[in-house]
Structure 1
Amino acid sequence: MSVYIIARFKIHDRSEYDRYSAGFSDVFKKFDGKMLSVDEDPTVLAGEWDDTRSVIIEFPSEKSALAWMTSDDYQAIAKHRDAGSTANSILVKGLE
């Protein structure tokens, strides 16, 4: 069953976040994920939105999503994400 990671970022140090972004593709392509959306200017439909970036990623399984997130390669770049932004993310299951 496909799963989706939905993440919101409030970027407070663009240079640190850019270091994360620069290494992201090389790490991501080693896994079975698919980028569905990266948006820094979403249309707010309800409520308030003060985050800088939103991301939606699809993986074929929860196992593959967690393998990516916990990999040594991803953790090596994630420190720049954490230094440059505040992140909120969830993993949701797709419909069968």
Structure 2
Amino acid sequence: MTSAQSDDDATGRYYVIFDVDIHDVARYRTYMERVRPALEDAGGRYLVRGGDFTVYEGDWTPSRLVLLEFPSQEAWESFYGGPAYAEMKSVREEVSTGRMVGVEGLAPGR
């Protein structure tokens, strides 16, 4: 690692994949409007939010895919378990169900 590289560049980014079933679209939209600024303040960003998908293998049929990128796993966990997201998370849990996994990305050049 050169001195110009940050620790985040050395370990790679952290990605969260969320497959969500929405039960109350109006309230979920309110959640989405509120969560984006908090997510961005924590260093996160959306890479995918819904849209068409194609299943190439297996029997997984996602409802709505969301792909998030964070600078690190620690940044994600601070956001997800932190006070800024606590109230929004409870709303999301009331109006949707989902499956969520996180995975560390490869360091640049790997």
Common topology (TM > 0.5): yes
Q: Identity, % of aligned pairs?
A: 26
Relative to the length of structure 1, the TM-score reads 0.87
Structure 1, unaligned runs of 5 or more: none
- RMSD after superposition: 1.4
Residue 98 of structure 2 is matched in structure 1 by: 87
Does the aligned pair in 2 maintain the 1:19–1:80 contact within 8 Å?
no
Deviation of the 1:40 alpha carbon: 3.8
Instruction: Using the TM superposition, give the Cα deviation of residue 16 of structure 1 relative to its aligned residue in structure 2, in angstroms.
Output: 2.3
- Structure 1 stretches of 4+ moved >4 Å: none
User: More strand per residue: 1 or 2?
Assistant: 1
Number of aligned positions between the proteins: 95
Structure 1 residues 21 and 5, CA gap change in structure 2 (3 angstroms): same
| TM-score scaled by length of structure 2 | 0.77
User: Where does residue 54 of structure 2 map in the other structure?
Assistant: 43
Q: Which runs of 5+ in 2 are unaligned?
A: 1-10
What's the offset of the Cα at 1:50? 4.8
* Letter in structure 2 aligned against 1:5: V
